[in-house]
Amino acid sequence: MNKELQDRLFEKYPKIFRQKDLSPQETCMCWGIACGDGWYDIIDTLCHQIQNYVDDNKIPQVEALQVKSKWGTLRFYVYGGDQYVQGLISMAEAMTSCTKEFNDKEKIYESYKKIIDQHNDAFKQLKDD
């Protein structure tokens, strides 16, 4: 996902994306949201629903551990939540199977290059530590 859209999600849902600044030893969120821009609205709606549910029901905060594309669908891994939250996530993941992740071939290349670069950077950081 491009940085502008990713940052918009991070700003709108700071509690869900609290782990984004942690190290690779602590979380996979350090690599950001690793999917195409086409799923922005689905992720935005999912986060909105999760945060409203958490706030309205006074349950422990749900935190994203990893958000990525795998086998053509969204994977949204979290810490916390209950069956309702898992249902929201399952619905969002299913919706991505019939929603374009990328708008054109150039975006596909850019997104995968970003993912590879992020993983290389994280690997280098682990190696240097």
**Digit-coded pLDDT (tens) for 84-104:** 999 999 988 888 877 665 555
Alpha carbon 75 to chain centroid, angstroms? 8
Structural domain harbouring 33: 3-128
**Tokens (6 digits) for 38:** 């086409």
Confidence of residue 39 (pLDDT cuts 50, 70, 90): confident
**Tokens (6 digits) for 114:** 């970003």
Dihedral angle of Cα 54, 46, 6, 75, to the nearest 10 degrees: 110
Count structural domains, the chain: 1
pTM for this entry: 0.76
Residues 2-30 have pLDDT tens digits of: 899 999 999 999 999 999 999 889 998 98
Q: Which residues does residue 34 pair with via DSSP β-bridges, in sequence order? A: 68
